[in-house]
Amino acid sequence: MAGIRIEGNTSGNVAEVTGSNQLKVITETNVGANPNNVGATRAFHENDPGDILGTPSLVSPEVDDDYRTRVALDTILDVETFNYTAQNTGKHTYSNSTMTATWNTNGLKTNGGDIVTSTTGMTVGTYSEFPIFGGQALYLEFNASFTAQPTTNFVIDFGMFRRGASTAYAPTDGVHFRLNASGLQGVLNYNTTETPTSVFDFTYTTNQKYKFVITFNERKVQFWIDDVLYGELDTPSGQGQPCQSATLPISVRQAHTGTAGAALSMFVNNYVLHAGGYTYARSFGETQNALLGSYQGLSGGTMGQLVAGTVSSGTLAKPTAAVPSNTALTANLPNNLAGRAWETLSTGLTYNTDGILAIYTNPSGTVSIQGKRLRVTGLKMSATIQTVVAGGPFINEFYIIFGATADSLQTAEAATTKAPRRIMLPEFTQVVTVNQAATTSVAQFATYADFSSAPIYVNPGERIGIAVNRFGTASTSGVIAYTYQFIYSWE
């Protein structure tokens, strides 16, 4: 069979083969000087096939001059699951006028009373704000549903935006989804000047959960529903970014601009905010503090940080002196991660007996309470004489108790119970002198114990606290005032 002749159209030159019938090929050795002699393939990644918008979303990867493909990791900036029945006032702010949001185990409901009243509204969102800058991309995801189909005289906005100060709490700057009588669309808001997408070709099923995602950077915003791209907006000409703010909170609002045609509400089950493009030099504990709040309690749980009074106390009340117990937390001694503990010596703890000075229970995980490990990296403590000591001198020794499943130093280790583990605190050893006077400091080797290199972990449902043991010459009266603070985060 005759071979195929390969001949240049202009030069007339023909290709040659080797003795083993292989086409002779010369590899270009000077790519810089002869780039047209090199074959190449353009690579693009398909983010969306264009089923809704009609045009695929294609983006080319980037390679640096040292031939490395540019890659990035996502960093979680905030996350919240609304499966509890009361607002987390340490994390979220809430304003309303007649329309009332409700926190339920199956989500945050924007119009809890299903009202249709005119000129009413509500808004809820984070106290925290999150940065928008450079090549970073933000990804905000809501898992949510709607209780009815769109009706007249209502609007729901959800995304990252500055909330209006009064009814109807309209966004003043940011990027967000908007649902109204026309349907669902996306909005760029630059200091109250809005640039909307067209209404999406999307009809939701009542009470069905959908994943709504906003992705944006300085040049473009995209709106996704269940991983399908429904709309995108370029940053308008003359603007440096989609919104004027350099930081924005996560926000939701519903308002009735007139009497609504029917009751409608949004159920938000959770949200999560990621940053892509930059790597944040944070430890896991630091990340969790950013998500949950340093020195605060968990959503659905107890505050955790409560020092002798309520969180609204203008002045923290002085505690009532009490006697530590070996088997329980005595009334008036603190059950918190920080506070004041006043110990009376008149009927005090038996010498050479351990007693609980303070103890805290890490909330157990339930369907409505996050089950988080408590990570303790340090403890601060000091003491003064509140009422003159009669007798002495004596020594106070301290240790941390943790891991126990009950408020007792006598809790047994068994299949379903745990005895308290103990960590000695020699740096806190105290010397109380004979008849030491009131308002004087108790001599103490140090005021801080550092566990950052070997943190203490307390599981949900377990305790952590401070125990004291005393020996020396007994006193017959007096009060010692202790102040302590655990350094902790949630994981």
Separation between Cα atoms, residue 77 and residue 430, nearest integer Å: 43
pLDDT score recorded for residue 260: 96
Measure the CA–CA gap between 447 and 398, rounded to whole angstroms.
Answer: 12
Give pLDDT, residue 414.
86
pLDDT at 262 over 90: yes
Please tell me the distance from the alpha carbon of residue 377 to that of residue 348, in angstroms, as a whole number. Answer: 31
Asked if residues 348 and 475 have their Cβ atoms less than 8 Å apart, the reply is yes
Euclidean distance between CA atoms 167 and 151, whole angstroms: 19
175 pLDDT more than 50: yes
pLDDT of residue 17: 82
Q: How far apart are CA 240 and CA 189, in angstroms?
A: 13
Of 282-296, 368-382, 387-401, 412-426, which gets the smallest average pLDDT? 282-296
Two structure tokens written together for 167: 């009814």
State mean pLDDT over 237-261.
92
- pLDDT score at 304: 47
pLDDT category of residue 293 using cuts at 50, 70 and 90: low
Quote the pLDDT of residue 308: 45
Rounded to an integer, the average pLDDT of 96-102 is 97
pLDDT-based confidence at 289, cuts 50/70/90?
low
Domain borders along the chain are 74-281, 338-490
Which residues neighbour 137 within 8 Å (Cβ) at sequence distance 6 or greater?
A: 215, 216, 217, 275, 276, 277
What pLDDT, on the 0 to 100 scale, is given for residue 280? 63
CATH topology (fold) of 74-281: Jelly Rolls (2.60.120)
Residue 40: the pLDDT is: 66
List the single range of 1-10, 163-172, 266-275 with lowest mean pLDDT. Answer: 1-10
Q: What is the pLDDT of residue 307?
A: 46
| Structure confidence at residue 472 (pLDDT) | 94
Of 118-132, 153-167, 280-294, which range is least confident? 280-294
Average pLDDT of the segment spanning 333-337: 90
Residue 41 has pLDDT above 60, yes or no: yes
Percentage of the chain beyond pLDDT 70 is 89
Q: Give residue 358's pLDDT.
A: 95
Cβ neighbours of residue 274 closer than 8 Å, sequence gap 6 or more: 74, 75, 76, 77, 138, 139, 141
Least confident piece of the model among 43-47, 148-152, 460-464: 43-47
**pTM to 2 decimals?**
0.74
**Cα–Cα distance for residue pair 391/311, rounded to 1 Å:** 38
User: In the prediction, which pLDDT does 8 show?
Assistant: 81
- 338-490 adopts what CATH topology? Jelly Rolls (2.60.120)
Phi, psi (rounded to 5 degrees) for 483: -125, 130
Whether 74-281 and 338-490 share one fold: the answer is yes
> Strand pairing partners for 187?
176, 196
Q: How confident is the model at residue 28 (pLDDT cuts 50, 70, 90)?
A: confident
Cβ–Cβ under 8 Å, residues 449 and 378: yes
Residue 352 has pLDDT above 70, yes or no: yes
Mean pLDDT of 343-364: 90
φ, ψ for residue 234, nearest 5 deg: -80, 150
How many of the other CB atoms lie within 10 Å of CB of 106?
12
3-state secondary structure the chain: CCCCCCECCCCCCECCECCCCCECCCCCCCCCCCHHHCCCCCCCEEEECCCCCCCCEEECCCECCCCCECCCCEEEEEEEECCCCCCCCCCEEEEEECCCCEEECCEEECCCCCCCCCCEEEEEEECCCEECCCCCEEEEEEEEEECCCCCCCEEEEEEEEECCCCCCCCCCEEEEEEEECCEEEEEEEECCEEEECCCCCCCCCCCCCEEEEEEECCCEEEEEECCEEEEEEECCCCCCCCCCCCEECEEEEEEECCCCCCCCCEEEEEEEEEEECCCCCCCHHHHHHHHHCCCCCCCCCCCCCCCCCCCCCCCCCCCCCECCECCCCCCCCCCCCEEEEEEECCCCCCCCCCEEEEEEECCCCCCCCCCCCEEEEEEEEEEEEEEEEEECCEEEEEEEEECCCCCCCCCCCCCCCCCCEEEECHHHCEEECCCCCCCCECEECCCEEECCCCCEEECCCCEEEEEEEEEECCEEEEEEEEEEEEEEEEC
Is the pLDDT confidence value at 161 over 50? yes
> In 3D, which of 418, 429, 397 has the Cα closest to residue 464?
418
Band (pLDDT 50/70/90 cuts) for residue 178 is very high
Considering only 151-155, 278-282, 440-444, which range has the smallest mean pLDDT?
278-282
Confidence band, pLDDT 50/70/90 cuts, at residue 305: very low
Residue tagged 């702010």 (tokens): 93
Report pLDDT for 2.
63
pLDDT mean across residues, the chain? 87
